[in-house]
Amino acid sequence: MHELREFYDIVIIGAGPAGLNAGMHIINAGFDKNVLLVDKITPWDHPIACAEGVGKLGFEGSVKVRKSWIRQEIKYARFHAPDGSVISYKDKNGGYIINRALMQKEMASQLESSGIQCLFNFKVLQIQPPDKGLRTVVFENGRKCKARVIIDASGPLCCFGKEEKINSKPGDLEPSYFAWVENIDIEQDHIHIYAGKELAPGGYAWVFPRGENAANIGIVLGRHSVTHANLRVLLDNFLSRHFPSVKIIQRFAGSIPCGFKKVPIAIPGFIKTGDAANTVNPISRAGISEALLCGGLAGDAALKMVGKETNKQLLTICNEYQNEWFKRRGNRHFKLARVKNSLLVVPDEDYNNGTRLLSSIPREELTMSKIFRASLGRFPRLVWALRHLM
């Protein structure tokens, strides 16, 4: 049985990007007190339900990137309209397809070697409200520990903190379904985005390279379209139409918290981060860099909370954490969430006409500013959708 101490200064729940980067910020600050990282599974021993695409600026700005984490460097995004019209857009900053499992494994190994206790296959059932400044963490095996600060990076579905005034429900939970495939011939420096109300109502389909002759292909739907669609059938139809020769290696289903509400993500001694704090981009559904960024901020805030005694001091730290997240990403996400329904009901005709209009511009010359100049007056919703999808 794993050794579990009775008390920790900081307990991090969840060994995904947010929880791990919270731990990285803690060790990088030289914190030498007792910290626990716990997860209900060993994440890298299981296939991770993720498209693994990140923008280069956001990723490199949130964590010290290792070369071993990079599967592919992405230079172009190719958009496919419902009628088959295509444009290729060159992003001046580019992106990566990462090996998320390896990234998480290496980050956890570094945390453990730096002194953080890591317990995997150790499921948290409950976080009890504070008693004299300490919360009790209750595990599935009946064991317990107390903590001065909790960092909840457990994902969108655990919903810890229902008894307290903190965000505990995922916003706008959207379904996704995807597959790892082989025997596919696509450019390794391109990602592909497909739109259309028959293909992916309220969402889109993606094709991301995973190395030679391999790809991650999937579909995400808008929440309001779920009752009218079968994701597996939609994906199978998409594969049959566009990639009939692929070999499916493994299928996955997942849920993406794509909404955003300005509700507390930190209270004294309890910090939400990553998907547990609804940090996913509401339009693109990207969440890795966002989780890393928010997780790092959560680690910094937790360090500040340790040793603080008064509620006023702790509330100040909570406000600083939330304000920094809102400044860096949250305010933008809030605005996107408010206009999301409008952006994601772009008529297929607008996609088709706008894409045909732009397809005459050579790939190397098609920048987002040219997309704006050429299309904003005629297809404003298309332009804004492309901007945030690509």
Distance CA 39, CA 151 (A): 12
| Residue with the larger pLDDT of the pair 165 and 294 | 294
Give me the pLDDT at residue 197, please: 87
Q: Among residues 46, 45, 44, 37, which one has the least CA distance to residue 9? A: 37
Give me the pLDDT at residue 285, please: 84
Distance CA 255, CA 175 (A): 5
Q: What's the mean pLDDT when you consider all of the chain? A: 88
Average pLDDT over residues 182-199: 93
- 82-117 burial code (b ≥16 CB/10 A, e <16): beebebbbebeeebbbbbbbebbbbbbeebeebebb
User: pLDDT grade, residue 1 (50/70/90)?
Assistant: very low
Give percent above pLDDT 90 in the chain.
Answer: 61
Average pLDDT over residues 209-225: 88
**CB half-sphere exposure, 295, CA atoms < 13 A:** 35
Q: Which domains does the chain have, with CATH numbers?
A: 7-48+100-171+259-342 (3.50.50.60), 74-94+174-256+344-389 (3.30.9.10)
Q: Among residues 309, 198, 179, which one has the least CA distance to residue 249? A: 179
Average pLDDT over residues 11-15: 98
Q: What are 138-162's pLDDT values in tens digits?
A: 999 899 999 999 999 999 888 898 8
Does pTM surpass 0.85?
Answer: yes
Q: How far is CA 277 from CA 72, 148, 153, 211, 317, in A?
A: 29, 20, 8, 32, 17
- 273-292 burial code (b ≥16 CB/10 A, e <16): bbbbbbbbbbbbbbbbbbbb
Q: What are 20-68's pLDDT values in tens digits?
A: 999 999 999 998 679 999 999 999 998 888 899 999 999 999 999 999 9
- The answer to whether the beta carbons of residues 202 and 234 sit under 8 Å apart is no
User: pLDDT grade, residue 192 (50/70/90)?
Assistant: very high
Contacts of 222 (CB under 8 A, 6+ apart): 174, 201, 202, 203, 344
User: pLDDT grade, residue 260 (50/70/90)?
Assistant: low
Q: Judge whether residue 172 has pLDDT over 50.
A: yes
Give me the pLDDT at residue 111, please: 97
Q: Judge whether residue 282 has pLDDT over 50.
A: yes
